[in-house]
Structure 1
């Protein structure tokens, strides 16, 4: 399944939770998409698991194949599978650019990376899925710092910057000080449901 490029608010309404990586907009309706006034159906165990998995996919902008690959890696780790999965997603370069306040969403951050407006440890990069590690420094290029969207977001970040990033907004740079923790994900997620979803499918 390819990366989603359709209406973002429709996804937010369907999942019933704001996904800051997907969009800054807030739904003006308190019910899901579809026929107006329709009563929500009670979800099965599979439905709950699927919804939690989709939250991760849409917020971080990853394909189903990428999710499966990340889950397998997390499962082979010594720690808790769910927490490791969240850590791996948070460490994606496009997400770090977003969490540092260089872009209003992870979608916009991915575009900045693909257009080579970022430097990782001084070298230009264009791959959004690169995984950062403690000690890495991410910086905007001179041209990147002049983009109006970037200037605006640096002044007013979409989210509070996480403690695992040391950000110098004036220089347009951020340093990874430690690995992100599961409780620092910026939206409610029951990651155990995601683990259960993939446990019987992979």
Structure 2
């Protein structure tokens, strides 16, 4: 997967939303689109609105276009609402779980921890960020990872409040998923129905 390595705040300004998985920096007063004419209000077409909502998911969770299309197809096969299932599948990714547990400042940093085998899934080292976490799974940091400055800082000041669908044991550095996440627990504003409509005519 080609990972985005460009300016993160610029992306959030273009999308008009703070994406905690992408960056901890707030938009602040620069909440207008980047560029010379960023302050000029622009009318968005239906396609433009759908594209923005889709890009929010892509950048917050660090996915390539093919990856999110694959998840959308899987969500579409589910009996429940496609949008709700898509958000659930995204939240259950291992790298996102590591981020939501407070082990990393962003989902980008969490993915790097997983890649470098600093994360144990049910006591076993893994290096695949897209592994899907299930209720009852236990995620733990390795002894070496607990000394990494970024991890120490993230544990001291988590970027987000830990969600209700996981339990965190501070003494053992263990996070356990207790249930599947619900759509309203996604930590940034997104109109997932616009994403469903975007892909409905393209896949």
How far off is 1:152 after superposition?
A: 1.4
Report the secondary structure of 2:168's partner residue.
Answer: strand
Q: Which residue in 2 is equivalent to 1:7?
A: 7
Q: How does 1:103-114 map to 2 (within 5 A)?
A: 103-114=104-115
Gaps of at least 5 residues in structure 2 are none
Structure-2 separation of matches of 1:91 and 1:52: 19
Give the aligned length: 202
How far off is 1:2 after superposition?
A: 3.0
Q: TM-score, normalised on structure 1? A: 0.97
Q: Which residue in 2 is equivalent to 1:18?
A: 18
Please identify runs of 4+ aligned residues in structure 1 that moved more than 3 A: none
Structure 1 residues 37 and 200: alpha-carbon distance in aligned structure 2, compared to 1, 3 A threshold: closer
Check conservation: 1:2, 1:64, Cα contact below 8 A. Answer: no
How far off is 1:37 after superposition?
A: 5.4
Q: Which residue in 1 is equivalent to 2:116?
A: 115
Q: Which residue in 2 is equivalent to 1:42?
A: 43
How far off is 1:41 after superposition?
A: 1.4
Structure-1 separation of matches of 2:82 and 2:64: 19
Q: TM-score, normalised on structure 2? A: 0.97
1:74-106: per-residue Cα shift (whole Å, max 9, x none)?
A: 000011100000000000000000000000000
